[in-house]
Each structure stands twice: as structure tokens, then as C-alpha cells.
Amino acid sequence: MKKISQKQKLNIWEAFRDNLINETPIDTTETVSQKRKRVANLEKNPEKWFEYYFPNYYKSKPAPFHIKATRRILRNPEYYEVRAWSRELAKSTRTMMEILFLALTGKKKNVILVSYSADNAENLIAPYKINLESNNRIINDYGKQAKIGSWESSHFVTRSGVSFKALGAGQSPRGTRNEAIRPDVLLIDDIDTDEDVRNPEIIDKRWDWIEQALIPTRSISEPLLIIFCGNIIAEDCCITRAAKKANKVEIINIRDEKGKSTWPDKNTEEHIDRVLDIISYASQQKEYFNNPISKGKTFKEIKWGKVPKYNQFEFVLQYADPGVSNKDKPSKKSGLQNSQKGTVLMGYHQGNYYVITCFLDHMNQASFIDYMYQIRNIVNNRAVLYSYIENNSFQDPFFTQILFPLNYQLGQEKYQGNVLPLITDTRKKPEKWFRIEADLEPLNRLGRLIFNEKEKNNPHMQRLETQFKGAHPNAKLLDGPDMVQGAYKIISEKNSLMALDSITTIKRKGNNKSY
């Protein structure tokens, strides 16, 4: 990527400053008494305060999670929060508005903003500086902020005595006192990079610096606010380490667990689809769903090939996974569940196991059940279809209270009373990763696990392939490989029983002969 020159950077910020001046007009006829009353009312309602002072940022109605997050920050002077919000959810912008509110109302006095490099930290703190020096509404209500002799791009102190400093990770935080006031706000934004998270030594060193150099700049006796902003781009990164220490960890993805936009007033479903459609599933998960999928070593390649006709299979099998288990309970901190729901259609022919098609995604219960009906319609009586669904002790209430009633209702109302017969798989199973590796790795290595080449552009099949390639013992998403393993196991058992029956039949015929 070409580096932006200092002159280009200056031109960008000058254009931003000019635009800011134009977008923050003031009422010059307002009296001092009217102004004081208006400002006092705004300060009582932070959302109105944000909307008035930052009209160039506050262009969409905030989502409920924005409002709740701001309440936590403004009500807790001693607080540690991790905001793993997706791209396009305004984590840095919302944080800036909150910090400027605390600074201009006198609640915080010494702010340090940290990023992966000094240049990036300076870029991130620039909007703070430009708003303080050029936002007409801030200047009109809180006075001129720029202080001659203390107004550099990486460190500036307002006339009211609030210090802002940008630091790159690893830089010495010494000398960050603001007169007698030690840092009382630490903003760690965009601390992880794709390149750095590939090297555990860099992450170790960076985390040691945060804990041993940065945080100890605080005062023991005064409250400190720490906010981490960033996506979870690796299983081990500074954000995930901070999550283990924080008072609050909030993971907000571009879409919720029901597949709906988490900020519909800004990001419509059409907008989200437009972005996601042109990037890979792995990129989608890392950038917009806080689910980095690292490449595993077990399933490096997936074989795509031609699938036999249905009449060549003795039977085909549908295996559905409701995506709920005792290991996939919602996180206590985030309230989100990592698992997905899915169903796969598999067939067996001449020693090969064919993944004919699948549905795999975060989805609600009704969609999950409807996908099972769609699998039946795909087969359309061209082969004997067995429909299995995983059922363990943790899932049992789901079956009795939700799935069976929904299945019956859907069959009656949408499929002319033809209710889908489901066979519950209640087998006791080994740990998920071990059964996937033990059963499917040899099958895949020998080229006997074959994905339907006609389905290569199906996003559900692409998700399945990505989960296979990213499979390893600590992978968050193994639901796709897990349901393929479930289908494989039952097909293998049925094949064994059929072979045993044929052997028994031959023996019986032989025993009935007369000599």
C-alpha cells in the first residue's frame, strides 16, 4: 500500500477542517443566559449533545447498543471496556464523542490514545484535535480550545487544561503527566495488525508493554477509564487478551445472531449484502463478525467433483445440526453464541462420500427447519431419504419445546400436511474435534470426501469449505464439519448393516440347499 505523503495528509485534514467549520453553524443572536440554559440541557442528554456538536458524524439514529455503551462509559469513571464492534459500527467515532464530552465537561483531564504505530495513533487523534480547534459549536459554548505552544499533532493541551497525547505501541509513556494529573483515560484503538498477530512474540511484547508500561502511568488513587476498540482478527491478539481483564466485553457484529443488521438505520441489509458478496467468507468473518478463521493444517484442500445421479445411491442422508451444545452456550460477557445451524445432504457410492449440498449459517429456528424441508424437496423422491438431527442432553428442551412443534406447524401450513419425519441422533459422541479429525481426515486425504462441483458458487457450501480449511482443535466454528461427520458416521453404519444382511442372506441360501 502506497504511503500517504505529509503534504497529502495535510490537504486531507484541511478539507476536513473546512467542512467541519461549514457544518457547525451557531446562532449569533443567542443571549448568554439562553446559551447557558441550552448547554446545561444538552449536557443532561448525551445523545442530544452528540447530535448538536457533531452533526457531521451523527447522521444516523444510534442503535440501542450505542446508547447503552455510552451510559456505561459516562457513569463509570473507573472502568475497563473492550469494544469488539464490527467495521461500520462507529466504534472509534462514538468513543471520540464520549471522550470529548468527558473532557469538555471537566470529568477527565489526561487522555492517551494508543495504536499499533505512532503514525496511526496520530491519525486517530487528529479528529479530536480538529474538532477542538475548528468546531464552531464547541468553541462558541466551551471557549477556544487551542493553546499556543501546546498544540502539536501528537500532543496538545486545551486552554482548560485537558491533555491529549498519541502514542505508538512500544513508545515510552513517560512524561505523560498533565501537571499533577496522571493519565485518567487510556484509549487503545486499532492495536492489532494482520501481520503482527501472525507472530506470537510481537503480541507478547506488545501486551507486556500495555500492562507493564502503559497502564502503570495511572494514579493509584484516581479513577482510570480504559477503552479497547478493535476487531477480533486472531484468536490470540491484544483485544482477546484485554477481554480477559475487562469489566465489560461487547462483541457486536454487522449482523446479529438472527442474521439482521445490528444498526439498520445506517447499514441496510442491501448495503451489507453488497459488501459481503464481493469478499471471501473468511474475510467476512474476520472483518464483520469478529470470527477470525485461521488456516488449519488438517484439511488443506477440499476435493470438488461430479456427483452421481440419485438413482445410483442406495439411499441419501440428511443430517441436521441445531448448533446448540453445552460447549457453545452464549458468552457471559458478550451474550453471543458462536455456533451455527446447518443441514447437509450426503450420498455414498462405490466407496466415496458425496456432499451434495448443504445449508449452513447463523439462522433462526424456523429457517433451520425450513431448510430441512428444502433438502427433502431437492431429493424429490429420486432416492430414499433419511433425515437425521443431532440430539444431545443439552439440546433436549429445544426438541420438545421448539423443534417438534415448529416442524409439525410448518409441515401442516406450508407443505400440505406432509410433516418431515425426523430421526434423532442420540448417540454418545467423543469430543467434536477428535471425531472430525479421526473420521474425515483420512477420508479427505484419500480423495473419498467429494463436494458437489455444481454447488461451488453456493455460499453455504463455501462456508462449509472454509470451516474445513480452518479446522483445528481450538477453532470456534466446527459446526459444518461436525454435521458432515455425523452424516458420514450414520451412512457408514447403515452400509455395514446392509453388508451384514447380504452376507447373512447368502449363508441362509447356502444352508437351505439339499445335498
Cα–Cα distance for residue pair 294/283, rounded to 1 Å:
11
pLDDT score for 3: 57
- In the block, residue with C-alpha cell 487522555: 111
Positive/negative CA dihedral, 149, 153, 154, 159? positive
Q: What is the mean pLDDT of residues 407-432?
A: 84
pLDDT score for 5: 67
pLDDT score for 405: 79
Q: Are 259 and 364 in contact (CB under 8 A)?
A: yes
pLDDT band at residue 497, thresholds of 50, 70 and 90? confident
**The pLDDT of residue 504 is above 70:** no
Q: What is the mean pLDDT of residues 109-128?
A: 96
Cα–Cα distance for residue pair 443/348, rounded to 1 Å:
12
Q: What is the mean pLDDT of residues 465-488?
A: 90
State what percent of residues in the chain have pLDDT above 90: 64
pLDDT score for 430: 82
Helices (H) and strands (E) in the chain, counts: 17, 14
pLDDT score for 180: 74
Q: Look over the chain and give the mean of its residue pLDDT values, rounded to a whole number.
A: 87
pLDDT band at residue 28, thresholds of 50, 70 and 90? confident
Q: What's the pLDDT tens digit per position in 358-383?
A: 999 988 888 888 999 999 999 998 99
Cα–Cα distance for residue pair 236/232, rounded to 1 Å:
9
Which of 171-185, 331-345, 407-421 shows the lowest mean pLDDT across its residues?
331-345
Residue 133 per-residue DSSP state: H
Q: Please give the helix or strand (H or E) that residue 10 lies within, else none.
A: helix 6-23
Which of 19-28, 110-119, 151-160 shows the lowest mean pLDDT across its residues?
19-28
pLDDT score for 328: 41
Cβ atoms within 10 Å of 499's Cβ, excluding its own: 10
Cα–Cα distance for residue pair 430/486, rounded to 1 Å:
12
Q: What's the pLDDT tens digit per position in 391-403?
A: 865 555 556 666 7
pLDDT score for 396: 56
Which amino acid, 29?
T
**The pLDDT of residue 2 is above 90:** no
The cell for 285 is: 468473518
Cα–Cα distance for residue pair 430/417, rounded to 1 Å:
37
The cell for 139 is: 468553541
Q: What's the pLDDT tens digit per position in 172-220?
A: 887 677 777 899 999 999 999 989 998 999 999 999 999 999 999 999 9
Q: What is the mean pLDDT of residues 467-481?
A: 87
Cα–Cα distance for residue pair 93/38, rounded to 1 Å:
24
pLDDT score for 508: 46
Q: Taking Cα atoms as reference points, which of 51, 143, 131 lies closest to residue 106?
A: 143
Q: Please give the helix or strand (H or E) that residue 318 lies within, else none.
A: strand 316-321
Q: What letters, b where the CB count within 10 A reaches 16 and e where it falls short, cover 357-385?
A: bbbbbbbeeeebbbbbbebbeebeeebeb
The cell for 310 is: 440419485
- Residue 53: exposed, middle, or buried by beta-carbon count in 10 A (0-12, 13-18, 19+)? buried
Q: Which residues contact 292 (CB under 8 A, 6 or more apart)?
A: 232, 233, 234, 235, 285, 286
**The pLDDT of residue 473 is above 80:** yes
In the three-class reduction of DSSP (H, G, I as helix; E, B as strand; rest coil), residue 445 is classed as: helix
Cα–Cα distance for residue pair 372/104, rounded to 1 Å:
57
R_g (Cα) of the chain, nearest Å: 29
pLDDT score for 160: 92
Which of 151-155, 303-307, 476-480 shows the lowest mean pLDDT across its residues?
476-480
Q: What's the pLDDT tens digit per position in 269-297?
A: 999 999 998 887 788 888 999 988 777 77
pLDDT score for 256: 92
pLDDT score for 331: 44
Cα–Cα distance for residue pair 360/374, rounded to 1 Å:
13
More confident residue, 418 or 220: 220
The cell for 334 is: 458478550
- In the block, residue with C-alpha cell 503527566: 177
pLDDT score for 8: 67
pLDDT score for 475: 81
Cα–Cα distance for residue pair 394/468, rounded to 1 Å:
25
pLDDT score for 296: 75
Q: Taking Cα atoms as reference points, which of 319, 356, 294, 347 lies closest to residue 479?
A: 319
Q: Which residues contact 213 (CB under 8 A, 6 or more apart)?
A: 172, 173
| Alpha carbon separation from 301 to 1, 74, 307, 344 (Å, rounded) | 30, 50, 18, 19
Q: Which residues contact 77 (CB under 8 A, 6 or more apart)?
A: 107, 108, 184, 223, 225
- For the chain, list the domains and their CATH numbers: 6-276 (3.40.50.300), 294-501 (3.30.420.240)
3-state DSSP of 50-112: HHHHCCCCCCCCCCHHHHHHHHHHHHCCCEEEEEEECCCCCHHHHHHHHHHHHHHCCCCCEEE
pLDDT band at residue 327, thresholds of 50, 70 and 90? very low
pLDDT score for 25: 85
pLDDT score for 67: 98
**The pLDDT of residue 338 is above 60:** no
**The pLDDT of residue 509 is above 70:** no
Which amino acid, 362?
H
Which amino acid, 507?
K
DSSP string, 199-240: -HHHHHHHHHHIIIIIGGGS-SSS--EEEEE----SSSSHHH
Q: What's the pLDDT tens digit per position in 141-177?
A: 999 999 888 899 999 999 999 999 999 999 988 767 7
